[in-house]
Amino acid sequence: MSTVRPFTSADRDACLVLFDSNVPGFFVPQERAEFEEWLGQPFDSGEYGEYFVLEDGGRVVACGGVWLDPQHPERPAGFSWGMVARDAHRRGYGSALLHFRLGRLRELGAREVHLDTSQHTAPFYARFGFREVRRVPDSYGPGLDRVDLVAELGG
Ligand SMILES: CC(C)(COP(=O)(O)OP(=O)(O)OC[C@H]1O[C@@H](n2cnc3c(N)ncnc32)[C@H](O)[C@@H]1OP(=O)(O)O)[C@@H](O)C(=O)NCCC(=O)NCCS
């Protein structure tokens, strides 16, 4: 059975393994240092947001976070660094983590959810009602476009 729990520093290596499994294709190698540094932040409900891991049978198979930034009304809340182990794609883990994160943002009072991802993953979020608001070709790296998406959080 899978469970979602808060990330701890002991999960750092497991999350980097998840990242590496999605290179190439979903992430470019240049993003790794940024992700590694970001994993070292003191996650909480404040400035850095919250980060979670999804475990199944004791293995960390997915990770992803939420953030709130009320100072910026044009982009007040969203998802950060979501990913599923490459050998575990299309088994429902991504949806489970997405629903958990939507629920957490509702609890925190968010009204909408922003995220950016590649052209390969945008269709996954579109299935859940996210709509594209911007697309920048090669923004993450050669061949990897940045797609900005938003969804309204119904009550
Ligand atoms: C995008 C991602 C999180 C989806 O997770 P997943 O566990 O594979 O997705 P699920 O198994 O929950 O899929 C749910 C549905 O979406 C579909 N789906 C999954 N990935 C999809 C994609 N990239 N494009 C379109 N549909 C997709 C599945 O086929 C499934 O459809 P079904 O309900 O009809 O069977 C995962 O592929 C991933 O980690 N990608 C790499 C990391 C990444 O790009 N992260 C970007 C955010 S920073």
For residue range 104-129, list pLDDT tens digits in order.
999 999 999 999 999 999 999 999 99
Q: What is the pLDDT of residues 8-67, one digit of tens each?
A: 999 999 999 999 999 999 999 999 999 999 999 988 766 679 999 999 999 999 999 999
3 state DSSP class of 119: coil
Is ligand 1 within 6 A of the CB of residue 80? no
* pTM assigned to the model: 0.96
CA of 71 to the centre of ligand 1 (A): 31
Of residues 92 and 70, the one with the higher pLDDT is 92
In a domain, 22, yes or no: yes
Alpha helices in 108-152 (DSSP H): 122-126
In a domain, 12, yes or no: yes
As a whole number of angstroms, the distance between CA 31 and CA 12 comes to 15
Comparing CA positions, the residue from 52, 55, 84, 85 lying closest to residue 66 is 52
In a domain, 33, yes or no: yes
Residue 145: its H or E element: strand 144-152
Using the Cα atoms of residue 113, residue 76, residue 149 and residue 64 in order, give the sign of their dihedral: negative
> Residue with the nearest Cα to atom 43 of ligand 1?
83
Q: Which domain holds residue 55?
A: 2-111
In a domain, 147, yes or no: no
CATH of residue 60: 3.40.630.30
In a domain, 74, yes or no: yes
In a domain, 149, yes or no: no
Structurally, the chain folds into a number of domains equal to 1
Sheet holding 2-6, edge to edge: 2-6, 50-56, 59-68, 77-84, 112-117, 144-152, 131-141
Site to probe by mutation for ligand 1, drawn from 51, 91, 102, 121 as the one with most ligand atoms within 8 Å of Cβ, is 121
In a domain, 127, yes or no: no
The number of the ligand 1 atom at minimal distance from the alpha carbon of 81 is 48
In a domain, 135, yes or no: no
